[in-house]
Amino acid sequence: FGEPAPFPTTAPYLADILEIPLLQFFCLKRSWGSYDIIFEPLSFDSGGPRDEREHRIKRLTEQYARNLEHYAKSAPYNWFNFHDVWELAP
């Protein structure tokens, strides 16, 4: 947590280019047969000047990472990465 990590940016790019909202979805198991389903809208100003797109994408990706960190901390046993997000330090 709180460390740099690579995240894909395709979805934020498409949302910005197409000027459509982007939602982040979480499904957290709370107890046997009980789940919380959460939709987090990622806020941004789509359709702005092209030369500001990288800044908008960076803000969206950082918001995505903060949300992921928040929900991973709130339910740490609900998560599994199917690929290495954080490379091991040498």
Q: Tell me how far apart the alpha carbons of residues 18 and 12 are, in angstroms, rounded to a whole number.
A: 10
- Please name the residue that has the structure tokens 């903060």: 66
**pLDDT tens-digit series, residues 1-26:** 777 778 888 999 998 888 888 999 99
pTM score of the predicted model: 0.78
Residue 9 near residue 56, CB atoms below 8 Å:
no
Nearest to 12 by CA among 59, 49, 50: 59
- Please name the residue that has the structure tokens 């459509």: 20
Which sequence spans correspond to the domains of the chain?
10-78
- pLDDT of 78 higher than 90: no
For the chain, percent of residues with pLDDT exceeding 70: 83
**pLDDT tens-digit series, residues 38-65:** 999 987 676 678 888 999 999 998 999 8
